[in-house]
């Protein structure tokens, strides 16, 4: 899997661009430097919890959304995730998961 700090930065950049904000606009809103925000977006910085809350507020997204990398995963990574989840599920939940996936595949 790709470096999580890089995935996180790409996620921040994606939200920022979706909201038509420049790095300078968002940085000003958050009262940080555009250089620091650039470092976050490139996966070079390690933001504190307070900074994560600040990013969440500045982007008007829930904090958990900043860490939702599922859509960025490649097919092989997704298959590995399914295997891992499958080994952790009870038989009943595994049957339900198969039904859901089967319905989605139709």
* Tens-place pLDDT, residues 32-84: 999 999 999 999 999 999 999 999 999 999 999 998 876 656 677 767 777 87
Domain boundaries, the chain: 4-70, 73-105
CATH superfamily of 4-70: lambda repressor-like DNA-binding domains (1.10.260.40)
Q: In residues, how long is the chain? A: 106
State the Cα–Cα distance between residues 46 and 57, nearest whole angstrom: 18
Residue range 98-106: mean pLDDT, rounded = 86
State the Cα–Cα distance between residues 66 and 14, nearest whole angstrom: 10
Encode 41-59 in three state secondary structure: HCCCCCCCHHHHHHHHHHH
What are the start-end ranges of the H helices in 2-74?
Answer: 4-18, 23-30, 34-41, 49-59
HSE-CB for 105 with a 13 A CA cutoff: 6
Model pTM? 0.66
Of residues 99 and 86, which shows the higher confidence score?
99
């Amino acid at each position: 899997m790709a470096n999580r700090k890089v995935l996180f930065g790409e996620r921040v950049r994606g939200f920022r661009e979706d909201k038509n904000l420049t790095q300078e606009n968002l940085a000003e809103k958050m009262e940080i430097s555009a250089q620091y925000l650039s470092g976050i977006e490139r996966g070079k910085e390690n933001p504190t919890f307070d900074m994560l809350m600040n990013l969440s507020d500045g982007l008007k997204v829930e904090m958990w959304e900043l860490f939702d990398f599922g859509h960025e995963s490649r097919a092989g990574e997704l298959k590995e995730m399914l295997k891992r989840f499958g080994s952790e599920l009870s038989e009943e939940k595994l049957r339900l998961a198969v039904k859901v996936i089967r319905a989605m595949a139709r």
